[in-house]
């Protein structure tokens, strides 16, 4: 299913459905295809928004988790979203965490899946010589429990990104920024209800990372999904959507009378 990418001023985004905003932040190799099932399901209940993060458009000085957070903040202010649910996968989760620490006032809840911010196994500090398609294919397959999810189309997309010298440099810069920007000492400041959905077979942010996020974020709950890697919303969309929908419904239930 294809969704219209809207452009308002410097922002490109998808916006589908009505209701409370559910804002989705993609990761380093994220594409809109990562969220197709999630958009289709939740746009019946929420206003689902996917801003296109400028991973490769920022100058090198601002190519960082902080630079992406500033962009996200400007986008949310520009659209004047309130009471929003902020969901991030991988680097997108890291951006979401940094945003809620700096600007908690508009955020109703946070959802993290395979988030960086504490520990992650990346692509490595350097790439092998450009043009090594098999290496990129293996690395892309590592994202998933089932390597078949890494279709030729997806591998080609990643290969196209890393085979360009400037975008490859920016990916390395962002990956190093994520490693440096460890949020371990700040997570206890988060007050919003937080949902953690983790693949039990995540090789990039392994299960212990999810447990550590749960330990450090006060009002958080953790769900593991078996036979699932670093992108649960792509690999097991039905289970992911069910867990997320229960969490969001619970937030909107009136508090039980004691």
**25-79 pLDDT tens trace:** 999 877 677 899 999 999 999 999 999 999 989 998 899 999 999 999 999 999 9
Nearest one of 220, 240, 224, 242 to 232, comparing CA atoms: 240
CATH number of the 6-120+182-251 domain: 3.40.50.1820
| 138-169 residue pLDDT tens | 888 999 999 999 999 999 988 888 888 888 88
Nearest one of 89, 84, 145 to 116, comparing CA atoms: 89
- What is the end-to-end Cα distance of the chain in Å, rounded? 46
Q: In what order do the strands lie in the sheet with 6-8?
A: 6-8, 11-16, 47-51, 21-25, 84-89, 107-113, 194-199, 220-225
Q: Residues 6 or more apart from 120 whose CB is under 8 A from it? A: 90, 178, 179, 204, 205, 209
User: 195 with 78: CB under 8 angstroms?
Assistant: no
Q: By percentage, how much of the chain surpasses pLDDT 90?
A: 75
Query: Domain-by-domain residue ranges, the chain?
Result: 6-120+182-251
- Length of the chain, please? 258
| 65-76 residue pLDDT tens | 999 999 999 999
């Amino acid at each position: 299913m294809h969704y219209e990418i809207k452009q308002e001023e410097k922002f490109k985004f998808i916006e589908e459905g009505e209701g409370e905003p559910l804002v989705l932040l993609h990761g380093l190799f994220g594409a809109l295809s990562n969220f197709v099932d999630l958009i289709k399901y939740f746009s019946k209940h929420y206003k689902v928004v996917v801003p296109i993060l400028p991973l490769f458009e920022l100058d090198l000085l601002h190519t960082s988790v902080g630079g992406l957070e500033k962009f996200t903040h400007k986008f949310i202010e520009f659209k004047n979203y309130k009471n929003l649910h902020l969901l991030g996968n991988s680097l997108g989760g890291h951006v979401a965490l940094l945003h809620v620490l700096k600007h908690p006032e508009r955020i109703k809840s946070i959802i993290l899946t395979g988030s960086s911010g504490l520990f992650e196994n990346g692509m490595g500090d350097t790439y092998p010589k450009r043009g090594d398609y098999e290496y990129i294919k293996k690395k892309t397959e590592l994202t998933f429990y089932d390597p078949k999810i890494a279709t030729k189309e997806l591998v080609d997309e990643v290969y196209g990104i890393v085979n360009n010298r400037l975008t490859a440099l920016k990916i390395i810069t962002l990956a190093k920024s994520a490693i440096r920007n460890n949020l371990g000492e700040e997570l206890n400041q988060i007050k919003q209800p937080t949902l953690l959905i983790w693949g039990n077979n995540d090789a990039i942010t392994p299960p212990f990372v999810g447990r550590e996020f749960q330990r450090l974020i006060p009002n958080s709950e953790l769900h593991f999904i078996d036979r699932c890697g670093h992108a649960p919303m792509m690999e097991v969309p039905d289970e992911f959507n069910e867990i997320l929908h229960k969490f969001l419904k619970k937030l909107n239930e009136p508090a039980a009378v004691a």
